[in-house]
A and B are shown apart, each in its own frame.
Chain A
């Protein structure tokens, strides 16, 4: 049964190969079918694996020895356990829906690009599965780099537009900064423990010194920062919206960006050992959540709002990890995957209907024209706003409750962020779907509901967004928190909540009430007369994303460029270039001289041989001096 795990990443890989190689010869419908069915097949296998893990527990399946150097061994092995099987379901399930959605969304592309798109998408799913399934940090890193590559390729999918290419490059570079941290952490682990297998590392974690644990976890966290878009490496994610919308839904909302959370949850044994890192994770998470929420309030591009909202929600997940609520964070990953994928796909549906218009100031009143999109989008907004009994409520509440137990200030700021979330989501909803249509006449004429291939995924996801939270109903609301029990073998259970039940009810009520108020305020404020004027003052700063990009530009990019210019013009030209060229010239020169020794005359050759033998023998018999000389140098 466990051997089935090979099939999970194999199917997308096959899909990638077929679509990649046959993109010029296959028809569009065939490409779409291959792309989607491979993921569906993976999903089916994942369901079996999930059942199996539930029944028989975790296991490690080794395919072959990947690296085998002396005592250091890295196996190409798959970890099939509660955590990875859950992620498998999320990745393949949502992945399948988004593949189906893409067949309609990308239909205008030429067959060749259509094939390229699906090849990339399949490769992405393959890499992501590898990341999640790997039984050691090296395999995880392979997947980690793979998803980064696919993300780069897909952000720059429309490579004719140079801005998109810049966005792709930015994403790649920022991810690489994080990857460096990850890589250093892996090397550190190898140096200290001599192994990278999860099981061995966690078993030997106690032998690490305090400093080592802190350094390793901090470096891992740097990796997570890059991949999961946390301060200070978050600015690539909003720019990554340059890619096709389904890509944003799959990669930049539902799966890839949660890789950082998966990695920390997977390494929870290590992280729990370092107080410093845990606090830093919580603070960075909270700061990211708040900062990006404020930015989201003033964005007018429908995808940018969702992008900042994603950054903000990821911040919540890190807050959860930082306060030790690993289950809560994983739970939020799952519910967030449902409703954020839904939001993006809904946005995609709107953009599709509006002929690639993304500015919400030019929309409005789409409620009537796009009934299914509207309904599902509304459900998703309610879910993300944290209104019970929708899925977002349960997961967010779990994180906030754990934050309160840790430090009430975290909770206060968290609730403020949640209120902002509710506010900007319903600002988005109201501006887009309510009021009057503000676009051009032409656009109004062409408004239409999207085809079935797009709406059916929306409906499925909306159902999941509504009921997805039910697997994690906390005990005070009479549930059993199934997810918690399921994941308990993998994740260290959070420190016991020292909260009275009455306090917990109160906290819940407060956060729901504030969120509800924010929702009502947003609907009242924006449904009739949306803000169309340019913002001023603080609002302008928010609209311009607090000038963070400009800050990075001034503080890092420009000085670096100045240094680079200095190095290029002064040091490189006169110093290094001259040196390198000198070496090259020297090699060439000695090459020309040395080949003259090869005179072509047998007599000379034999003479040199005989002389060498004589020298060898002399060396041997007049050895003492030479040995002393050599000893001095070596």
Chain B
């Protein structure tokens, strides 16, 4: 499959994520949309990793080019997990105080 398909798919996912962040008001869903953006990136990285490997493989059968792209994906997953734990904690803390997870509900800090 040409690399373009992967790029289009992942950009589509990424855009869906952005739009979701923009239009949704529930903090958890906003957060899930951000996760969607990260996963779009993961997909893209893996696709590129494979592409670079294939290109290098044509000239050198023993090449390891492209592995770092997949390694990067693991790091993103780990960091995203850390972010999730902190983010959910923050959302829970907010819910305890105001019994709502609406991102626009808390609006004291402005101007």
> Does a CB–CB distance below 8 Å link A and B in the complex?
yes
Residues of A within 8 A of B (CB): 595-596, 598-603, 606-607, 610
Would B22 and A596 count as touching, CB distance under 8 A? no
Given contacts A610-B18, A610-B22, contact A603 B104 (CB under 8 A): yes
Would B111 and A595 count as touching, CB distance under 8 A? yes
Would A596 and B21 count as touching, CB distance under 8 A? no
A494–B62 Cα distance when bound, in Å, is: 89
Q: Which of B38-96 contact A (CB under 8 A)?
A: none
Given contacts A610-B18, A610-B22, contact A602 B104 (CB under 8 A): yes
Majority-rule SS of B interface residues: loop
A591–B23 Cα distance when bound, in Å, is: 29
CB distance from B36 to the nearest CB of A (A): 15
- The residues of B that contact A596 with a CB separation of less than 8 Å are 111
- Nearest 9 A-B pairs (CB), nearest first? A600-B110, A595-B111, A600-B107, A602-B103, A601-B104, A598-B111, A607-B22, A598-B110, A600-B109
Would A603 and B18 count as touching, CB distance under 8 A? no
- The residues of B that contact A607 with a CB separation of less than 8 Å are 22
B99 at the interface (CB under 8 A from A): no
A610–B108 Cα distance when bound, in Å, is: 24
Q: Which of B1-54 contact A (CB under 8 A)?
A: 18, 21-23, 25, 30
A602–B23 Cα distance when bound, in Å, is: 11
A606–B22 Cα distance when bound, in Å, is: 7
Number of A-B contacts (CB under 8 A): 28
Q: Which of A599, A603, A606, A610 contacts B110 (CB 8 A)?
A: A599
- The residues of A that contact B109 with a CB separation of less than 8 Å are 600
Chain A minimum-CB-distance residue to B30: A602
- The residues of A that contact B108 with a CB separation of less than 8 Å are 600
22 sampled A-B residue pairs with Cβ under 8 A:
A595-B111, A596-B111, A598-B111, A600-B107, A600-B108, A600-B109, A600-B110, A600-B111, A601-B103, A601-B104, A601-B107, A601-B110, A602-B103, A602-B104, A603-B22, A603-B23, A603-B103, A603-B104, A606-B21, A606-B22, A607-B22, A610-B22
CB distance from A539 to the nearest CB of B (A): 77
Instruction: List 15 extra interface pairs beyond A600-B107, A601-B103, A607-B22, CB under 8 A.
Output: A598-B110, A598-B111, A599-B110, A600-B109, A600-B110, A600-B111, A601-B110, A602-B30, A602-B104, A603-B23, A603-B25, A603-B103, A603-B104, A606-B21, A606-B22
- The residues of A that contact B22 with a CB separation of less than 8 Å are 603, 606-607, 610
CB distance from B70 to the nearest CB of A (A): 27
- The residues of B that contact A600 with a CB separation of less than 8 Å are 107-111
